[in-house]
Amino acid sequence: MNCQTVQNKILTLPDPRHVPAALRAHVEGCGACRVWAELAGRLENLIQRLPTPAAPSNKKAALIAKLRHEPASIELAAERPHAFREFLRHNASLVGGLAAAVLVAVGAWAMLGKNTKQDVEFATPKDPFLEKMVQRDVALAKANGPAQKLQVLGGLADDLSAEARGLARLANQDELKDVARWYDRVVTDGLVRQAEAMNVNAMTPAERKAQLTELARKLGATADEVKKAAGEVPPDAKPILERIVDTARFGQKKLQDMAG
């Protein structure tokens, strides 16, 4: 299975936080798909936290009145796929899979079975971070060759480090730990492995050296920025940022060594 197939299958799982054995081997060995699975799991958490509007005040009375005037009966409802999953199944190939999930997670109540007779307004704030992740994923899927993939992965690492610095100032530890873990996987399993596996004929030696040197420079700059931020955040967030610094330095050295 290729990455696109695996990522689409993850989105159609009943619960993407639990990846089955048939997909797990690929996910554990592929940095991009591991990050994808993490994001899909986070979206599932977001969806579960969406509030459910209360039913109209007269709904209960109407139901009781109906039961009083009709004979008792039991009807087995036909099993229907969850609206969220059904939406993803029909739209994943059109909007890049995760983009569909984000649209649902940050979009309208209608996707989750809104009663059209209710005058209930429901809106969930958009998550700029998730929107960036979608944009990076689409760019990664469209990347033509190792050079473009490395460029996208470098941008993804920048987004994650920026998100980590923002979360650290808010002392949001759970999400900060998630972002730190994703950053580690993007740098270690994405950037470094992609660079190591790059075919020597994919670009000229000069082009390869220039790109790896630039990516290493950016990782070094990230390490400096995050290290500075670590001195300005709550104490509990500091070790998490230091982990990101270590990851950035690790990636920087690896890419510098490969650049020669």
Each residue's pLDDT expressed in tens, for the chain with a length of 260 residues: 788 788 778 877 888 888 898 898 888 888 778 877 887 777 666 556 544 545 555 665 665 565 555 554 444 444 444 444 444 444 443 334 444 444 333 333 233 333 434 443 434 445 677 778 778 877 877 888 888 888 988 998 998 899 888 888 876 678 888 889 989 989 998 899 888 888 777 788 899 899 999 999 999 999 999 999 999 999 999 999 999 999 999 999 999 999 98
What pTM, to 2 d.p., does this model score? 0.56
Measuring CA to CA, how many Å separate 232 from each of 137, 166, 179, 184, 229? 31, 11, 18, 22, 5
Alpha helices in the chain (DSSP H): 3-11, 21-29, 31-48, 59-69, 83-95, 98-106, 128-142, 146-169, 173-185, 193-197, 205-230, 238-259
User: What are the boundaries of each domain within the chain?
Assistant: 1-50+82-126, 143-259
Measuring CA to CA, how many Å separate 151 from each of 80, 130, 144? 42, 19, 11
